[in-house]
Amino acid sequence: MRFNIKALASLSQGPPANFDKEGKLWVHRIPPGIPQKPERRERWCRLTGNLLFLMQSPSQRSDPVEVIVLERCHVVESGDNHSALRIKFESGETDLCLEAGTASALQSWITVLREANSESLREKILHLQRLLMAMTASVEADSPKAGGARADAILVPELPLVEFSLACQALASPARDRKPNSMLQISVVNTLERSLAAYSCTEIVEGTRDPLFLTGVTFPPDYPLCEETVLKLTVYDVRDRSAESRSFLGFASFSVGDLLKEHQLTLSLRTSDGTSAVGAVVVSRLSMGEAQNGETEQVTAADATGQKHTVVCDPPEGSLRGGDSGPLTSAVFRNPVCKVYRFQTTDSKWMLVREKMAECTLSFHIPKQLLKLYIQEDMTRIQELQGLGELSPHWDNLRKELMGHLGQAIRSYQEVLTELSKMGGTSFKPSCCKAEKYLEFIPINLHTQRMQVTSPKQTETAYDIITVGAPAAHSLGFKNGGLRRQLGRFEAEKKSFSTTYQCIYFSPEDTAKARGVLASISQLQPLISSLADQLMQAARQRSAESLKETLKTLCDTTERFVHAMKEELVKSAHLALHAARPDYVSDSVGTNGSPPREDGPAPLKRQNSVPPRVDYDEEEWDRVWTNVAKSLNCIIAMVDRLQELDSNEQEVSPEPTLADVITSHTPDVDGWQEKIYPLVVTLKDCVMEVVDRAKKSMTFVLLQEAACSLPQGLLLRQRRDTVFSQALTALSCGFIMRLNAGMQDEGFLQQLHLVGVLAQFESLLSTYSEEIGMLEDMEVGIADLHSVTFKITEAKSSDAVDLQPKVCGWRECYTVEVPLPCRVFRLLPAEVKGQPLHVYPVLFNVGINQQQTLAERFGDVSLQERINQKNFYHLENYYKSLSDKVPLKCLPPFQTQTNLKELLGSLSQHVAARKKKNVEILWLAGAICRRLNGIRFTSCKSAKDRTSMSVTLEQCSLLRDEHQLDSENFSRALDCMRSSRLSRAESAHWPDPETGPVAEPKPASRHFYPVALLLVSSHLLVVWLILSLVFLLAKYQ
């Protein structure tokens, strides 16, 4: 970075009004791996814009010694010191630690530092632009003249979509014996600040003076662009791609308004001094339009050789492209990064490919809601434990211990929730923060990517994919493996614990049933009470029709309630609770003949049932829940009798007089209501008695489960909560994206209602070292998604806040409500409105990196094989269910006419085959998912290198198989899409003789990074050498 020392010094010595915040802070840095205490120094700190000046001493007038550029960094609160913060840099530099005197002063610094970056400034600019547009619309609406506006109103014209392709002509050769390897960089000129912001760059075209670039330029609709905006094109000669050796050739500039008027510009490339021309650059705008025959319009643009070629343009308004925007997408997806390419097809025509990658606001929104639900559920559980009443000393001690652990978990979740609430404006977690404690519930690098393809004689097609880091508890580590291994070990230990101590072993299925019974109680008991009140109201009004309808609903609800209470688990738990009362006397004694101790757990033989008390009748519970059914039958009989008497009276009654007509509208207080009231009261009392006993019994089941698992069980639950939060956030993002794309697809909506939607997770984790634990975490997290349902609701308004999804429910049974704008919700079929919609997640994993090579040679890949076989079974069951309920014609058509049964058969063979790095499993699973209208996810450790390689290869394969991409140009198209992932921050450091380095823009998201896919770290290399030496010694001995 180039900078002017004198200008910075002058800026740091300005008046206090020029700074956003200033004050004294203790400053130090903690180099990684150094245990000694760092040296702290008190300095005066001054913040202006995105520059933080650290002065030499605590004096306000001292000279600056360091300036920090607050870009590509994250401000977090220090975990070990509540009055300190850390600035973590994505570049890997040493963290900068700042300590304030008080907690309030620290929070004010955290707030201003998190907003001191170009991203926050860009959000403010966009917000002000929206306010200006709203003010303009309001002014025009209030104007007395049609179409008029006040003179002081600021009008912001809306530009059409700006997209253009690039080519060069007659570039000057840098040497006589070599033609240039050219590349174009596009920058946005800030005329007020006289600075540049690198926006994008093309791929490298080697060995030609007339390069035709396949990578174009597109600006998203919300980009701050106007007709006066100036764009600068800089051409570089890349002499050595590996060494990144580049030299400046020339530059040209033009305004957006010129391109909108001319549609095609031919600009002369000038040297840095502007004296000599070194070639020309052709800028061709990709404009929108529609041919008269209804097909996609094609325009003609000149390439670098002067020949004419067709370039497919944007579809007309109302096509697929128009569905990519709207209140729902703008509320959930933000900060889009757009790319456009043109590729040649097999018939020598051109297709247009657009990529749009965006961040998802759900990355923080869903975890915050889950944390609140976790806290609420644990607080409810503490209240239920307190309501158990008196217990024997053994069980009372266990209850207190469990309540203490639950309280500790609540405090931990509240701290995380408080920290997340302070982080405003952030919409994704970068991979450098994956081990941060306060960010453990946030998915890593969650992004959506849509590829839209417009090709000749084909309708525009979109392919969506969600990229996210593998859901795993990085902050808890993988020393003892992941969730799958720890849960298996935990279940075995819990069984052995229950054989020794006074507790009954309940299986995980029984525990889940207990939670389900508690959930049914909390849902059905208020509903029965409300229906009973409605029945009384109908009786008071003598409304026979209303009485009949209300009674029918009451019978159905009560039947569900009684069915839940008939569970054998409820009865056995009821008996167990009685055995745990202080006055219970057990027939068993210790092995030495002495009675059991009451101050601790007494050793007992293993028991699968609780010995009943002498004074307790085992059939008492059956009579209790049976009383509910009997009282309901009494109400039914009474209603039938009243309706029969009412019909008989109507048959024999004479012509009504005026007095009879008047009195008929008077509520019958002493008639129907008087006869039904005692029966309704009896029903309510019976239901309340059942609820009270069932709640205590099921709470005791959970207490016994905790008795065999403290404290390991709660630690595993916290790990599971962490992984599930990341997985549910990614799934919610994918569901909303898929719903938005299929809103007008009747076949998809029918499939969504009758069967549900498939969610296919593609994992590229290896079965080596820590990634084994990540894969074990991911397996359990994806499996837990089977209990999640979605519900489409109507939003209160079109505001972004009202369009955010809402999570409700409890562990093992969550529902995500997706609100839609009113005009969109009304167009949906009634079958999907407000109904539970199921999701069927499947996971397929194939490791592809060098660590997987080590695992296949010297390690174990059984985990990967088991996961693939198990999830193929789930995928096959989903296909069978879909075939039985939905016509296959509702599924989307594809150019490759491969039967779904054939694809499933091929996948079955590859899953069963023990082949190294069998990526065919991933290809076949992805193809099946797309043909089944599913949601596609791709994951690796951090959703960067391996993920980007997989996504680009999949996209180019789709272009070849479905859109006739020329096979000879396949490799170039793949290199083109991968080279576009080059970080714009890197291109900002390229030398520009005219202006120097450009301003650093917003950091590129997700996988816009250079890739070193098969890089082996130093410790792995040492292991490799040792193992090789052992192998050679064994071979030649």
CA distance 261 to 445: 40
Radius of gyration of the chain (CA): 35
**Antiparallel, parallel or unpaired: β 935-939 and 461-467:** parallel
CA distance 176 to 173: 7
Give the rounded distance of the alpha carbon of 973 from its chain centre: 30
Dihedral angle, C-alpha 239, 240, 244, 249, nearest 10 °? 10
824 phi, psi to nearest 5 deg: -80, -40
Task: Compute the half-sphere exposure of residue 366: CA atoms within 13 Å on the CB side of its CA.
Answer: 32
Coil, strand or helix at 373: helix
Give the rounded distance of the alpha carbon of 1024 from its chain centre: 37
Beta bridge partners of 187: 198, 232
- Close Cβ partners of 25 (under 8 Å, ≥ 6 residues apart): 42, 43, 45, 98, 99, 100, 109
Dig out the tokens for 508 from the structure. Answer: 């995980």
Q: Of 843, 1005, 1035, give the one whose Cα is nearest residue 935.
A: 843
Dig out the tokens for 558 from the structure. Answer: 């009560």
Beta-sheet strand order (sheet of 84-89)? 64-69, 51-55, 41-48, 21-29, 96-99, 84-89, 73-77
| Residues 697, 520 contacting (CB under 8 angstroms) | no
Give the rounded distance of the alpha carbon of 214 from its chain centre: 32
Coil, strand or helix at 842: strand
Beta bridge partners of 185: 201, 234
Cα angle for residues 546, 552, 555 (degrees, 5° grid): 135
Sign of CA pseudo-dihedral 957, 961, 963, 969: positive
Indicate the angle between helix axes 483-500 and 770-784, nearest 10 degrees. Answer: 80
Dig out the tokens for 927 from the structure. Answer: 């193809």
CA distance 909 to 880: 18
Sign of CA pseudo-dihedral 955, 959, 960, 962: positive
Active site residues: 940
In this structure, what DSSP letter does residue 346 have?
Answer: T
Dig out the tokens for 537 from the structure. Answer: 């109201």
